[in-house]
C-alpha cells in the first residue's frame, strides 16, 4: 500500500515509495548524449516527457528521439510534453536525427513524435523520411517507431507500414473507462484499430499501459486482453508519475510485486515479451524487444 500524508484539510498527497528512487545522471556516455542533443537541437521524449530513466539510458548511450517538434496538438492529462500551436515542420529534421544515430553508434534506434493534428498528413511524411534517413546513414541499425493514431487517417498509417520499421508501437496508455479523462482527444477503440491494422500489415507490434490512475485490477487485465485480441506482441506496464500539479494526480503507487504478477499474466495470455515494473516506460530496454 502507498503511504498517504495529509497536508491539510483540502489537499492529500501520496508519498513516493523507495522503489521509485532513481540515480542522478552522470558519466561520460551521458555527457556525450547530452552534448549531441544540445548541438543538433534535437528533441527527445526523455527530456520532454520527464522520463525517470533518462540517466540510465543516456548513460548507456541510448535516447528516444522525438520528431515533429516538441509541442503537441493534444492535451493529454498525463503527459509532460508541451501542448499548443506547433512550429513549422523542420524538413531537415530526418537528416539531423539520422546523423545523431550514426554518430552515437546506435544499434537499435527508438523514434517517437508529438501529435500533429494540424497537418493534413499528420506528420506521416516526416516519419517516412526519418526512417529512410536512418536506414541510409546506418544500414545496420534496427528501429522502433512509437507512433500516434494519425486521428484515424488510415492512409497516413499505411505510410508507416510501407517503410516497415522492425517494431511499431502505439500506446493504449490506460484502461477503457479512464481513456476520456487521461487521453482527452484519443479513443480507446481507435488505438486498438491502429494496432490491428499494423499487425494486419505484417508489423511486429507493441503497446503500453500506465498504472496508478485509479484503474481496477480487472480493468487492467481486460485492457491486456483487448491488446492480445489484436495480436499485440510486446507489452509494457509502468507506474504513472505526475509531471506537474496541473496534471492528473496519482491515485496509488503500484507495488513491484503486482507488476511482477501482471508480467506473468501477460506471458500466459500470449504476449511474446512483457516489460513490467514501476519505472518501465515505452522505450525502456527497447533493444530486448526485437527477439
Domains of the chain (ranges, CATH numbers): 11-290 (3.20.20.70)
Residue 85 near residue 118 (C-beta atoms within 8 A): yes
- How far apart, in Å, do the first and last CA atoms of the chain sit? 35
Which are the contacts of 216, defined by CB distance < 8 A and separation ≥ 6? 175
261-275 mean pLDDT: 97
Phi then psi for residue 248, to 5 deg, are -55, 140
CA–CA dist 212, 252 (Å, integer): 5
Going by the DSSP 8-state scheme, the letter that residue 44 receives in this structure is B
Q: What is the pLDDT of residue 29?
A: 62
Angle at alpha carbon of residue 41, lines to 38 and 42, rounded to 5°: 100
Which are the contacts of 180, defined by CB distance < 8 A and separation ≥ 6? none
Q: What is the pLDDT of residue 6?
A: 42
| Alpha-helical runs (H) found in the chain | 28-39, 45-48, 54-59, 93-104, 124-137, 154-163, 179-182, 188-200, 217-229, 256-269
Residue (of 290, 261, 291, 287) closest to 276 by Cα position: 261
Least confident of 22-31, 202-211, 230-239, 246-255: 22-31
Going by the DSSP 8-state scheme, the letter that residue 206 receives in this structure is E
CA–CA dist 169, 195 (Å, integer): 8
CA–CA dist 160, 223 (Å, integer): 25
C-alpha cell at 60: 548507456
C-alpha cell at 9: 484539510
197-220 mean pLDDT: 97
Going by the DSSP 8-state scheme, the letter that residue 173 receives in this structure is B
Q: What is the pLDDT of residue 289?
A: 61
CA–CA dist 160, 12 (Å, integer): 44
Return mean pLDDT, the chain. 85
Angle at alpha carbon of residue 59, lines to 100 and 262, rounded to 5°: 105
> Residue 167: which H helix or E strand, with range?
strand 167-169
- Percent pLDDT > 90 in the chain is 61
11-29 mean pLDDT: 64
Answer whether residue 108 shows pLDDT above 90.
no
Amino acid at each position: 500500500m502507498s503511504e498517504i500524508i495529509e497536508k491539510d484539510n483540502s489537499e492529500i498527497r501520496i508519498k513516493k515509495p523507495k522503489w521509485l528512487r532513481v540515480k542522478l545522471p552522470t558519466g561520460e556516455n551521458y555527457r556525450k548524449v547530452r552534448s549531441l542533443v544540445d548541438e543538433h537541437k534535437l528533441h527527445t521524449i526523455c527530456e520532454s516527457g520527464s522520463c525517470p530513466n533518462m540517466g540510465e539510458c543516456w548513460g548507456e548511450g541510448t535516447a528516444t528521439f522525438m520528431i515533429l517538434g516538441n509541442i503537441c496538438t493534444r492535451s493529454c492529462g498525463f503527459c509532460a510534453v508541451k501542448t499548443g500551436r506547433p512550429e513549422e515542420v523542420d524538413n531537415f529534421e530526418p537528416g539531423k536525427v539520422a546523423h545523431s544515430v550514426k554518430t552515437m553508434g546506435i544499434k537499435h534506434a527508438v523514434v517517437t513524435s508529438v501529435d500533429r493534428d494540424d497537418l493534413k498528413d499528420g506528420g506521416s511524411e516526416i516519419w517516412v523520411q526519418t526512417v529512410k534517413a536512418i536506414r541510409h546513414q546506418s544500414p545496420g541499425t534496427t528501429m522502433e517507431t512509437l507512433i500516434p493514431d494519425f486521428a484515424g487517417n488510415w492512409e497516413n498509417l499505411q505510410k508507416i507500414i510501407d517503410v516497415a520499421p522492425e517494431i511499431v508501437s502505439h500506446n493504449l496508455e490506460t484502461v477503457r473507462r479512464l481513456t476520456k479523462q487521461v487521453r482527452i482527444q484519443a479513443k480507446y477503440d481507435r488505438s486498438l484499430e491502429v494496432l490491428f491494422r499494423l499487425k494486419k500489415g505484417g508489423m511486429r507490434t507493441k503497446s503500453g499501459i500506465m498504472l496508478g490512475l485509479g484503474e481496477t485490477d480487472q480493468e487492467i487485465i481486460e485492457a491486456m486482453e483487448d491488446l492480445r485480441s489484436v495480436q499485440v506482441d510486446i507489452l509494457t506496464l509502468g507506474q504513472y508519475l505526475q509531471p506537474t500539479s496541473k496534471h492528473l494526480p496519482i491515485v496509488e503507487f503500484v507495488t513491484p510485486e503486482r507488476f511482477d504478477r501482471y508480467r506473468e499474466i501477460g506471458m500466459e495470455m500470449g504476449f511474446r515479451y512483457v516489460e513490467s515494473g514501476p519505472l518501465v516506460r515505452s522505450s525502456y530496454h527497447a533493444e530486448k524487444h526485437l527477439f
